[in-house]
Structure 1
Amino acid sequence: MTLTLADVRAAHTRIKDRIHRTPVMTSATLDAKAGARLFFKCENLQKIGAFKARGATNAVALLSEEEARRGVVTHSSGNHAAALARAAKLRGIPAYIVMPSNSPQAKFASVRRYGAEIIECEPTIASRESTAKSVAERTGATFIHPYNDARVIAGQGTAALELLEDVPDLTDILCPVGGGGLLSGVAVTAKSVNPEIRVFGVEPAGADDAARSLAAGRIMPSISPNTIADGLRSALGELTMEEIQRHVDGIVTVSESEIVNAMRTIWEVLKIIVEPSGAVGYGPLVDGQLDLAGRRVGIILTGGNLDLDALPWMKPGE
């Protein structure tokens, strides 16, 4: 299925009363540092603390009554897990969430708050997928993929729809990429609204499957991704790969130190909490890796869920 702007607009109409229209923040300090005008779309202030609320809510809303009665199942390191648990609770249906054993405790707690059943698995993509398949076979629940699902991608694209309504003259958008659901939705939306907008995905160097996949022209999954940005350890899916190839201008990778510096800068200057995955979009501007001087740049801060007792700049024992 090829995603269209009409799909994204329909998704927004469907979910807008069940999500936040998140604010766009600016900072003269960060503008001066980058030599550009920066507009931060604060999805860390979204329901469940991440943009994932958009796609999950849209997907669950589109289930038939028969599908809904059997519930939903997914695998996720945290934010999609909480988003699907919340969406299921809003519709009054069961949710079964497969989570890697190394997911942050804050994300386990978030899923539990929405009453979903958690099934832990080994922290590998293969284990996530096989465990979710087993749960679906046992329960009859409908599998809602974290990103490789047209309903989810359309929902994620609503973040860009709002951003471009609030700041219509953007020249560039920087968006974190893990599985590619958000980047796909953002790119389709942005290019449909204004084909001249440049859209860049940003990912950790330790989980650089999107950059390698785009260069190779086929999916090149990371076998053992290694990054503090736990939400970006997923591999691209077939749907997201197609949309990224079609619409994204490039993929930029950032180091672990750039991720931590981006996260800390956002905390200190914008005075808001973002998780490592959520700060990745700002990473290329921390040390001037990406020159966007004189441009008007939208940056999507994707989430704000993390363990406050294990911040990345803390020394062991603090």
Structure 2
Amino acid sequence: MDLTLEDIQSASGRISGFINKTPLLSSSLLNQWLGHEIFFKAECFQKIGAFKARGGCNTLAWLTENGKKPGHIVANSSGNHAQAVAYASNKFGVPATIFMPEYSSKVKIQATRSYGAQVVLSKTRDITDEKVREAAQKEGTYWIPPYNHEQVICGQGTAAYEALCDLDDMDAVFAPCGGGGLLSGTLIAARGLSPQTKVMGVEPLRANDAAESLRKGSVQRLANVPDTLADGAMTMAVGDITFEYLKQLDGFYEIDEDRMVYWTQWLTHLLKCTIEPTSAMSMEGVVQWLKGQNPGKRVLVVISGGNIDQPTRSKIWESNYLDQSPSL
């Protein structure tokens, strides 16, 4: 089934009582330096500190609405999706077990437990994924995957939907790509609300399974867990559902780690909020695209989250990039 704007709108209505309508931010200084207008949909102010709350809440609300509320929820994630499902399960009164790899952010593991979910840690992502598949076989149990699920996609798309309802004449929207759920939802929302707006994806060069998949025309899987600061984009492969939407994107950018750190520092400084490297890397894609554009473009960037643990924070700030002002 091809999802439509109406599906995103339905999701928006379902989750309105469970999530925050997050603010749109901008920096006059950044706009002056670049010669374009950049708007940031700040999902770092979302419940659980990331857009993933939208997909988790929509899926459980949709199940409940259709008389299919499960007795138990399971999910697999290295971070924000784990918190999202734990939060949604808490709100809907459904017990949850979340399977996470041991290398997941300690902050995200702790937060997932704090919402009342049982957390099961495994040495690798593959073991984690196998355990959730086994758990999902039990009667009365429903598996909410991190991205490859239509109602998860619809929930994630409500972030761009909200923003594009408030902004006119946008030339482009950029969002990060992990498994492709946020980008798929963003594409559906943009195509329905603002067909002239280009939709662009961004992922780490060190975790570029989506870019490789797009180049080769089929879903490609990473051989090893990627070494990247963008822990929200460490998925081993995109899904078969999300890949069909990613193929419709207007552009896709692969970002070096140092540029990711550069924009994490600068966006934190300019917007005065906590921004994950996964979110910040989108800004490097914006800059690369703007280099070939006439001045005065209006661009939306989805800031996907703001959950950073201490080791990652230390790596981000071990070098100073704030003496190099942004420019084209």
**TM-score of the pair, normalised by structure 1:** 0.94
| Matched residue SS, 1:179 | coil
Residue matched to 2:173? 173
Please list every run of at least 4 consecutive aligned residues from structure 1 whose deviation after the TM superposition is greater than 6 angstroms.
Answer: none
Partner of 2:24: 24
Q: Give the deviation of 1:279 after TM superposition.
A: 1.4
Q: Structure 1 residue 98 and structure 2 residue 122: aligned?
A: no
Q: Structure 1 CA distance, aligned partners of 2:284 and 2:96? A: 34
How high is the sequence identity, in percent, across the aligned residues?
Answer: 39
Deviation at 1:173, TM superposition (A): 0.5
Label 1:295 to 1:89 Cα distance change in 2 as closer, same or farther (>3 A).
Answer: same
**What is the distance in 2 between the residues matched to 1:121 and 1:154?**
29
Quote the Cα distance in structure 2 between the aligned partners of 1:159 and 1:188. Answer: 11
- Deviation string 1:215-272 (CA, Å, 9 cap, x unpaired) is 21111122222211011011210110011113x1111011000111111101111110
Partner of 1:298: 300
Cα distance change, pair 254–290 in 1 and its aligned pair in 2 (3 A): farther
**Could you tell me the TM-score, scaled by structure 2's length?**
0.91
Question: Using a 3 Å threshold, how does the CA distance of structure 1 residues 223 and 290 change in structure 2: closer, same or farther?
Answer: farther
Query: Are the equivalent residues in 2 in contact too, given 1:44–1:278 (CA < 8 A)?
Result: no
Partner of 2:54: 54
What SS is found at the alignment partner of 1:201? strand
- Cα drift, residue 205 of structure 1: 0.2
1:307 aligned partner, one-letter code: D
Instruction: For 1:136, give the aligned amino acid.
Output: A
| Residue correspondence of structure 1 range 162-311 to structure 2 within 5 A | 162-224=162-224, 225-234=226-235, 235-246=237-248, 248-285=249-286, 288=288, 290-291=290-291, 292=293, 293-308=295-310, 310-311=312-313
Q: Which residue of 1 aligns with 2:44?
A: 44
Q: Distance in 2 between matches of 1:267 and 1:187?
A: 26
What is the letter of the counterpart of residue 294 of structure 1? G
The answer as to whether partners of 1:173 and 1:297 remain within 8 angstroms in 2 is yes
For 2:42, the aligned partner's letter is C
Residues in 2 aligned to 1:119 and 1:138: alpha-carbon distance in whole angstroms? 16
The aligned amino acid for 1:262 is W
Give the 3 Å change call, closer, same or farther, for CA 309–207 of structure 1 in structure 2.
Answer: closer
RMSD: 1.8
Helix, strand or coil for the counterpart of 1:62? Answer: helix
* Whole-angstrom CA distance in 1 between matches of 2:181 and 2:36: 27
SS at match of 1:137: coil
Q: CA deviation at 1:79?
A: 0.5
- Give the drift of 1:6: 0.4
CA contact (8 A) 1:258 1:284 kept: no
| Contact 2:276–2:305 (CA under 8 A) maintained in structure 1 | yes
